[in-house]
Amino acid sequence: MDVRRIEHAEDALALAGDALREAGAEGELSYGILLRLADDPGAWGEDVIILAGMDGERPAALVTMTGPFPALIVGFGDPGAVDLAAFAEAMHAAGRRPSAVNGARRWSEPFAETWQTLGAVAHVGRELRAFELVRVRPPRQPSGRSRPAAGADRDLLERWIAAFADDIGEPVAAGDAADAAERLLGLDDALLWEADGEPVSLAAVVRRTPLSSTIAYVYTPPALRGRGYASAVVAALSQRELDRGAAWCSLFTDLANPTSNHIYAEIGYEPRADFRLFELAWPAG
Examine the domain organization and report whether 208 and 96 are in the same domain: no
Residues 123 and 142 in one domain: no
Same structural domain for residues 111 and 218?
Answer: no
Identify whether the C-beta of residue 191 lies closer than 8 Å to the C-beta of residue 237: yes
CATH number at residue 235: 3.40.630.30
Indicate whether 114 and 142 sit together in one domain. no
Asked whether residue 9 falls in the same domain as residue 80, the answer is yes
CB 47 within 8 A of CB 95: no
Tens-digit pLDDT profile for residues 103-119: 999 999 999 999 999 89
Residues 6+ apart with CB under 8 A from 55: 1, 77
Same domain, 107 and 15: yes
pLDDT digits (tens, 9 = 90+) for 64-84: 999 889 999 999 999 999 999
Task: Calculate the CA 23 to chain-centre distance.
Answer: 14
CATH of the domain at 45: 3.40.630
Judge if 221 and 263 occupy the same domain. yes
What domain count does the chain have? 2
Could you list the residue range(s) of the whole structural domain that residue 62 is in? Answer: 2-127+276-281
Nearest to 204 by CA among 258, 242, 149: 149
Amino acid at 243: D
Question: Residues 219, 145: one domain?
Answer: yes
Task: Provide long-range contacts, Cβ within 8 A and 24+ apart, for 58-62.
Answer: 59/15, 59/16, 59/19, 60/1, 61/87, 61/107, 62/12, 62/16, 62/20, 62/30
Asked if residue 234 and residue 193 are part of one domain, the reply reads yes
- Same domain for 115 and 141? no
129-177 pLDDT tens trace: 999 999 999 998 899 999 999 999 999 999 999 999 999 888 999 899 9
Q: List, in sequence order, every residue forming a beta bridge with 61; answer none if it has no partner.
A: 53, 75
Residues 57 and 144 in one domain: no
3-state secondary structure labels for all residues of 69-109: CCEEEEECCCHHHCCHHHHHHHHHHCCCCCCEEEEEHHHHH
| 57 shares a domain with 34 | yes
* Cβ partners under 8 Å of residue 217, min gap 6: 160, 161, 164, 180, 184, 190, 202, 203, 204, 206
Which residues fall within 8 angstroms of residue 274, CB to CB, at 6 or more apart? 104, 105, 127, 128, 129, 130, 255
Distance between CA atoms of residues 165 and 206, nearest Å: 14
pLDDT at 285: 61
Whole-model pTM over 0.85: yes
Tell me the pLDDT tens digit for each residue of 209-224. 999 999 999 999 999 9
